[in-house]
Amino acid sequence: MPYLLLQIVGLPLVAAVVTGFTRNVRKSHLPGWITITTLVYTTLLLGFAGIRVCGGEVLLEQYFIGPEVSLNLLADGLSLPMALIINLICLALAVYSLHYVEHRIELIYGQCSPRVYNLYFRRFFLLYLFFPTGFMGVAFATNLLSVYFFMELLTIIPLYFIMAQFGYSDYITRYKVALMCLFWGVAGATFFLIGIIMGYVQIGSFEIAELPRLAGNPMTIWIAIVILLGLATKLAIIPLHVWMPWVHAEHPTCIAGLLAVYANIAVYVAVRILILPLRNDIYPLALPMMTFAMVTMVYGALLTLAQSDIKRFCACSTISQISYSVFGIGIMTAWGVKGGIFYFLSHIIGKALLFSTAGILVYTVETREINKMGGLWSSMPLTAILWFSAALILSALPPTSGFVGKWIIFVGAFKAFHSTPTGLVIVIFAVLSTILTLVYTFLAGIRIFFGPQKPPRPDHPPTDPPLTMSLPLLALVCVALGLGLYPEPILDLLGSVIGFF
Amino acid sequence: MTGTIVSLKPLLALGCPLLGTGMIFIYRKQPNVREGCTLAAAALLFAIVISMAPPILAGKVIAFRLITICPGLELGFRVDAFGLLFAITSSFLWILVSLYSIGYMRALQEHAQTRYYCMFALAIFSAVCIAMAENLVTFYVFYEALTLSTYWLVAHHEDEEAFAATRKYLTYLLASGWFLFAAVVLTYALAGTTRFADGGILTTASASRWTLIVLFALFALGSMKAAWMPLHSWLPAAMVAPTPVSSLLHAVAVVKAGVFGFVRIVCHIFGVDLFSELGLGLLLGWMASFTMIVASFMAIGQDNLKRRLAYSTISQLSYILFGVALLSPFGIKGAMIHIPFHAFMKITLFLCAGAIMVITGKKAISQMAGIGRQMPITMAAFTVGAVGMCGAPPVAGFISKWFLCLGSVQSGHLIFLGVILVSSLLDVVYFFPIIKTAFFDAPQEGADRRNGDVLRMETRKPLYLFMIVPLALTALFSIVFCFFPGTFFILDLVEMAVNNLFNP
């Protein structure tokens, strides 16, 4: 099939333009269905590409743009599984959004005329489609500038605009938080840009394939530090985590799951542009990275325990969970990096589930306070199952994908550091701190779903959401279980790229 | 010499309690059919488990690999002599305790009986999985499953006290599960496998001395189920559960899974040679000695019968750790044989405590004056159990103590011989006052005695027989084991296991 990867990256943009032109007299879900159709198609394309990559092929498409800048797209064993899972999540959340956005618009803009309703509905999905484009672009890009471009695209278009228009607080706060998110995003990206320009000065190229030429250069470690600083802003590593709870709490819940992807994809970027080409030069950074990650894991988890707002709860959990992946790639061995990326996939599935389940709760119970919920098990069993599945995935218990990820990360960590006392202590602390995830997810779940019933409106007990909201989430649960019991294909794919050191 | 038979038998065995759980749930509306399912599953499980004994005694190993998820993450079952010993113990006692449960739960008209039987079956399932685990990963997974399934049993009464106890229970055991996970991962990173092997899988070459000692510390913290002091306080707290639970789970399945794991770790992960080379034997020995003595002292002070038994359990579990720590053939033999023998004796004691509580409503020892005349069979069984705990003939405890004493002589640390003798003396101190109160003190006038005649309580209702018969049987078995330790192949299996350990 020609232009396979270009279609995957570009079609959502085309669809966004098409949605912009839909007009309808009555209230219509058409833009949503256009989005879903496009994503189904690109997911199929990714599956097709996946079969070819599994066969040992590396897909490379070259599109020349200008001097130093290219839009070459590369699908190998590292980028493809990640792109596939992310696209699946985008698809699931698009289906989930259909109902949710309707509810948001009614909540923010009241009982508006169909024209205004359609305007906002269209606008949401138009912006939503930038997510898949941005993610796929970051995954497949082979040029540092295009990586930068796609990361900025993700920050500016969907994050800023969606939040400003569909957020939770009043008009002023909404724009304030959106601006803050923009500032943090741009600041991180600027560090990243400075880093890649420093690299360009040394080797005269922005191509990722040229990066190994930096090896042995005394500047490399500084370049790596600047780039990592930029990425750490996205990853919300302590002390650069301040924006995360705000942004997540403000976002419409249906895309909050994608925010976790947005933050976590920086792990992939770090692997692609630093660890794979320059591993030996930046190895001194391994222990500091792991230490920061370990501290963030613990701090994020404690922060989560302290939350009573269900959306901030999920946001703080993201801070902690992303650090598992950072810990994994910080080990800088084949096991560690493989585990870090695998855990990244597991985390985004789990977090999409957790956030969306929180969204269901906000939607049906009409409050965000965990303290005002209780005993919902009897009226919302399906939601409870979804919540506890997400809890299982995030707390990395068997038989979910999280367990496999955690196992690989920590085997890698112990293999690399069992002989140095400091390393051993850090790794043991990190393993033990993972219990905090179990504590906070299950404690919150028990408070929400068990105990005395606390529906805010006793005359109108909450019920399970419509199927368009729960079915895509159940599908994600199945994906996580599948990855937990049969992770071999993905691990083999990752191994084909990472396995060499 | 040792061959491996690939067979579905372990899976069939595990299918019984699992299928049983489903059947119990399906027949939740018909209590008689439901209890019939429990009994059938228990009997079938025992039949399958015991049928594995002859091939294993012929020197074979029965194995079945279920699934390999990724390098290192394997679920598989492999039955060897030691594993079978634990499986036989828990599956046989499940039959008796199921019978007992019928009497106990119905006499007290407990709520949520279906949940109780379901979770009981799941707990047994996990315990048998642990017994048959091929590697540490399988062991870890079902170790956690055991914690979670017994959670519901401890929380059974759903009152303030029960929830407080379950909080403690979960805090200790889940935290310990995480230590165990860390230890499993570290083992895999060092040895490249987690499969149990007779000579151990770690060597001095696999890591530095300190790393191995850290690994052992992680394993020890991961084995809080063995209730070694000072990390024991979840066990007395868990006594709020219904008595059949306390008896089977907190005398057999859960805590025995803890010590079973400990023995596995010392013998099949570290290996006896490496363990003594690292000097960990002495450390473990002192740890166990401390627990044996201190727990006995704490038992003396308890007035609640079940709590006294709980402290006695803590003390007795450490006999097993103690035996392993000696690292001599006789010591390990004593440790392994104490797993089934202690199970039978302690379950007798717990069942007696439960029967007394149901029939007379008494929980405190100080109220039990003259109860031996009201409930002669129960108290006779209790006496048998207590004598066994003290290690006196003609009860099974004598044999395990004999081996342990021989083991301490064989290991060359004579001080340990002193420890075990002092500890069993303390057992006498806290058990015999109960027997004296029961048989030789006069019952109070009023509820227990009318016009000088003591009321016989045990046979007042046919339902009580469901309790009296199982406890009489376990007492009987405790005596039989003393004269014929080969019943259910126990002695043969232990000898086989120890033989494999020292001449792999």
The CA distance from B188 to the nearest CA of chain A, in Å, is 7
Helix, coil or strand: residue A297: helix
What is the largest distance, in Å, between two alpha-carbon atoms of chain B? 77
> What is the SS3 assignment for B376?
helix
CB of B178 within 8 Å of any CB in chain A?
yes
Q: How far is residue A132's CA from residue A136's CA, in Å, rounded to a whole number? A: 6
Task: Map out the domains of chain A as residue ranges.
Answer: 4-498
Give the H or E element holding residue A478.
Answer: helix A467-485
pLDDT tens, per residue, chain B with 504 residues: 458 888 888 899 999 999 999 999 999 898 899 999 999 999 999 999 999 999 998 888 898 888 888 888 999 999 999 999 999 999 999 999 999 999 888 888 888 889 999 999 999 999 999 999 999 999 999 999 999 889 888 888 888 888 899 999 999 999 999 999 999 999 999 998 899 988 889 888 888 889 999 999 999 999 998 888 888 889 988 888 888 888 877 777 889 999 999 999 999 999 888 988 898 989 999 999 999 999 999 999 888 999 999 999 999 999 999 999 999 999 999 999 999 999 999 999 999 999 999 888 888 888 888 888 888 899 999 999 999 999 888 899 999 999 999 999 998 888 999 999 999 899 999 999 999 988 888 777 666 666 666 677 777 788 888 889 999 999 999 999 999 988 889 999 999 999 888 876
Are A424 and B208 in contact (CB < 8 Å)? no
Amino acid at site A63: Y
CA distances from B467 to B96, B216, B244, B342 (A): 9, 42, 10, 20
Size of interface A-B (CB pairs under 8 A): 60
Produce one character per residue of B285-317: b if its CB has 16 or more CB atoms within 10 Å, e if not. Answer: bebbbebbbbbbebbeebeebbbbbbbbbbbbb
Q: Hey, is the C-beta of A398 within 8 angstroms of any chain B C-beta?
A: yes
Which among B72, B141, B190 has the least Cβ separation from residue A398? B141
Burial of B380 (0-12, 13-18, 19+ CB in 10 A): middle
Q: Is B4:B61 a contact under the CB 8 Å cutoff?
A: yes
Residue A221 confidence class, pLDDT cut points 50, 70, 90:
very high
- 3-class secondary-structure state, position B64: strand
Q: Encoding tokens for residue B142?
A: 């079902």
Chain CA centroid to CA B497, Å: 19
Angstrom distance (rounded) from CA A127 to CA A184: 20
Chain B nearest-CA distance from A135, in A, is: 28
Is the link from the previous residue into B504 a cis peptide, with omega within 30 of 0? Answer: no
Which sequence spans correspond to the domains of chain B? 279-504
Q: Which residues pair with A66 in a beta bridge?
A: A69
pLDDT at res. A458? 64
**Both tokens assigned to B463:** 């339902």
Distance CA B264, CA A149 (A): 56
Q: What is the DSSP string of A42-108?
A: HHHHHHHHHHHHHTT--EEE--EEETTEE--EEE-TTHHHHHHHHHHHHHHHHHHHHHHHHHHHHHH
Please judge whether B182 and A410 are an interchain contact, meaning their C-beta atoms are less than 8 angstroms apart.
yes
Task: Answer for the pair B135, B196: CB distance below 8 angstroms, yes or no.
Answer: yes
Q: Looking up tokens 């209890």, which residue turns up?
A: B35
| Separation CA B203–CA B190 (nearest Å) | 9
- Cα–Cα distance list, A343 to A350, B28, B242 (Å): 10, 41, 41
Question: Average model confidence (pLDDT) for chain A?
Answer: 89
Is the Cβ of B217 closer than 8 Å to some Cβ of chain A?
no
Query: Rounded to whole angstroms, how far apart are CA atoms A317 and A298?
Result: 10
At A500 the pLDDT is 61
Alpha helices in B327-445 (DSSP H): 329-360, 371-374, 376-390, 397-411, 414-440
Chain B's closest residue to A451, CA to CA, is B158
Q: What is the C-alpha to C-alpha distance for residues B349 and A461, in angstroms, rounded to an integer?
A: 50
pLDDT in tens, A123-157: 889 999 999 999 999 999 999 999 999 999 988 88
pLDDT digit string, tens, across residues A365-424:
888 888 888 888 888 899 999 999 999 999 998 889 999 999 999 999 999 998 889 999
Per the DSSP assignment, residues forming a β-bridge with B445 are B449
The better pLDDT of the pair A349, A169 is held by: A349
Q: Is A481 in CB contact (< 8 Å) with chain B?
A: no
Q: What secondary structure does DSSP assign to B294-358, as a single string?
A: HHHHHHHT--BHHHHHHHHHHHHHHHHHHHHHH-SHHHHHHHHHHHHHHHHHHHHHHHHHHHHHH
Percent of chain A exceeding pLDDT 70 equals: 98
Give how far A125 is from chain B: nearest CA, Å. Answer: 39
Question: Cβ-count burial of B444 within 10 angstroms (0-12 exposed, 13-18 middle, 19+ buried)?
Answer: exposed
A431 at B interface, C-beta within 8 A: yes
**Edge-to-edge strand order for the sheet containing B60-70?**
B3-6, B60-70, B73-79
**Per-residue confidence band for A266, with pLDDT thresholds at 50, 70 and 90:** very high
Nearest-CA distance from B185 to chain A in Å? 5
**Whether the predicted pLDDT of A501 surpasses 60:** no
Nearest in space to A259 (alpha carbons), one of A135, A394, A434: A135
Looking at residue A107, its pLDDT comes to: 82
Residue whose entry in the numeric block shows the structure tokens 């070259």: A62
Choose from A298, A411, A483 for mutation: most chain B CBs within 10 A: A411
Band of the pLDDT at A272, cuts 50, 70, 90? very high
The mean pLDDT of A204-220, rounded to a whole number, is: 89
Residue A288 pLDDT exceeds 90: yes
CA distances from B497 to B58, B83, B425 (A): 12, 9, 30
Residue scoring higher pLDDT (A346 or B60): A346
Are B189 and A414 in contact (CB < 8 Å)? yes
Cβ distance of A485 and B179 shorter than 8 Å:
no
Give the pLDDT score at B1. Answer: 44
Q: What is the pLDDT of residue A231?
A: 93
Nearest CB to B70; choose among A408, A431, A435: A408
Answer whether B73 sits within 8 Å of A485, measured CB to CB.
no
- Regarding beta strands A64-66 and B3-6, do their DSSP bridges make them parallel or antiparallel, or are they unpaired? unpaired
Give B87's DSSP letter. H
Predicted confidence band at A456 (pLDDT cuts at 50, 70, 90)?
A: low
3-state helix vs strand vs coil in chain B, percent to 5 = 75, 5, 20
Residue A70 has pLDDT above 90, yes or no: no
Interchain contact B69–A (C-beta under 8 A):
yes
DSSP code for A28: -
Flag if B70 and A428 touch (Cβ within 8 Å). no
pLDDT value, residue B3? 80
The secondary structure of A142-211 as a DSSP string is -BHHHHHHHHHHHIIIIIIIIHHHH-SS-HHHHHHHHHHHHHHHHHHHHHHHHHHHHHHHHHS--BGGGG
In this prediction, residue A116 has a pLDDT band, given cuts at 50, 70 and 90, of confident
CB B226 within 8 A of CB B258: yes
B chain contacts of residue A428, beta-carbon cutoff 8 Å: 182, 214, 218
- Decide if B185 and A421 are in contact by the 8 Å CB cutoff: no
Query: Is A434 an 8 Å CB contact of chain B?
Result: yes
Q: Among candidates B399, B248, B380, B408, which has minimal Cα distance to B322?
A: B408
CB-CB neighbours of A6 under 10 Å: 14
B197 shares contact with chain A (CB less than 8 Å): no
Average pLDDT over residues A150-172: 81
Residue A455 has pLDDT above 50, yes or no: yes
B208 touches chain A (CB under 8 A): yes
Q: Pick from A407, A424, A435: which is nearest to B72 by CB?
A: A407
Distance CA A181, CA A242 (A): 10
- Answer yes or no: do B185 and A424 touch at CB < 8 A: no
Task: Determine which of B68, B144, B163, B186 to mutate to test the interface with A (most A C-beta atoms within 10 Å).
Answer: B186
Contact A407 B214 (CB under 8 A): no
Q: Determine contact: B144 vs chain A, CB below 8 A.
A: yes
Residues in chain A: 501
3-state secondary structure at position A34: helix
- Per-residue pLDDT tens for A71-100? 889 998 899 999 999 999 999 999 999 888
Please return the burial class of A238, using the count of CB atoms within 10 Å of its CB with bins 0-12, 13-18 and 19+. middle
B3 token code pair:
């061959």
Residues sharing a CB contact under 8 Å with residue B174, sequence separation 6 or more, in sequence order: A435, A438, B144, B147
Q: Which residues of A touch B214 (CB under 8 A)?
A: 424, 428
